[in-house]
Each structure stands twice: as structure tokens, then as C-alpha cells.
């Protein structure tokens, strides 16, 4: 029974992520990036108050600082979790070939659930 419930939860999050990826394709964007806690909870199940969720066509990444590493690994669904230290750079390689459209902050009139 527990495995069935876990599978259903994973399926819900998979569908949400897939809808974001469909929008990425429509927009021609490489990634959806958010640091909004409601968005990363809705899309990954991570309940921490600080983090960055990056969704690409190939993978989903949750980036957190050391305070949330254990929580992210326990809660986040279908994401690779990375811990970033205060002296790290998120973009250590040449990223000139990456197109990223960022809307920050996300307008209050747009709800991530609208694309589901």
C-alpha cells in the first residue's frame, strides 16, 4: 500500500514537471528557474524556505545551501539535489550558449498551476 501511494505521488510530480517542460519547448527556452518556495514545493515537494529549482528538458535540479541539504534529499521528488557553499559560483563554465529567459519576480497574476 505504501509503495502504491508513493508511486501515485511521484506520478503527480512527474506530470507537473512535464507540463513545465512542454512550456519550455513552446517558448524555446532552455530552463525554468525559480527561487519561489511555493513553486519549488509545487514542482518538487521540497518544503524548505530557500532554494533554487532548475528544470531543463534533460534534468531537474534543486540547489540548496547546507541548512537544507538533508531535507532536500529526503523530500524532493525527481530532482538531483546540490548543496552550494557561500563561496561557490553557480556558473563556473562558459554559459554563453545557453538561452535563459528569466521572469523575476514571477508576476502575482500568474499561477504555476495555470499551466497544469
Tell me which of 67 and 3 has the higher pLDDT.
67
Q: What is the pLDDT of residues 95-116, one digit of tens each?
A: 444 443 433 333 333 333 333 3
Q: What is the pLDDT of residues 39-77, one digit of tens each?
A: 999 999 999 999 999 999 999 999 888 888 889 989 999
* Residue (of 54, 45, 46, 61) closest to 9 by Cα position: 45
Would you tell me which CATH number, out of the four given (3.40.350.10, 3.30.930.10, 3.30.70.890, 2.40.40.20), belongs to the domain 2-87? 3.40.350.10
> With 90 as the cut, is the pLDDT of residue 81 above it?
no
Global confidence as pTM:
0.70
Matching residue, cell 563561496: 87
Which pLDDT value is given to residue 86? Answer: 54
Which of 6-15, 16-25, 48-57, 94-103 is predicted with the least confidence, judged by mean pLDDT? 94-103
Which residues 6+ apart lie within 8 Å of 105 measured at CB?
36
Q: Where are the domains of the chain?
A: 2-87
Amino acid at each position: 500500500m505504501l509503495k502504491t501511494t508513493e508511486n501515485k505521488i511521484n506520478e503527480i510530480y512527474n506530470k507537473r514537471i512535464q507540463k513545465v517542460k512542454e512550456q519550455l519547448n513552446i517558448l524555446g527556452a532552455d530552463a525554468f528557474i525559480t527561487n519561489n518556495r511555493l513553486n519549488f514545493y509545487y514542482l518538487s515537494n521540497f518544503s524548505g524556505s530557500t532554494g533554487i529549482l532548475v528544470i531543463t528538458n534533460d534534468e531537474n535540479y534543486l540547489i540548496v545551501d547546507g541548512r537544507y541539504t538533508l531535507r532536500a534529499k529526503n523530500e524532493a521528488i525527481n530532482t538531483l539535489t546540490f548543496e552550494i557553499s557561500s563561496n561557490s559560483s553557480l556558473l563556473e563554465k562558459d554559459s554563453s550558449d545557453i538561452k535563459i529567459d528569466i521572469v523575476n519576480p514571477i508576476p502575482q497574476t500568474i499561477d504555476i498551476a495555470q499551466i497544469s
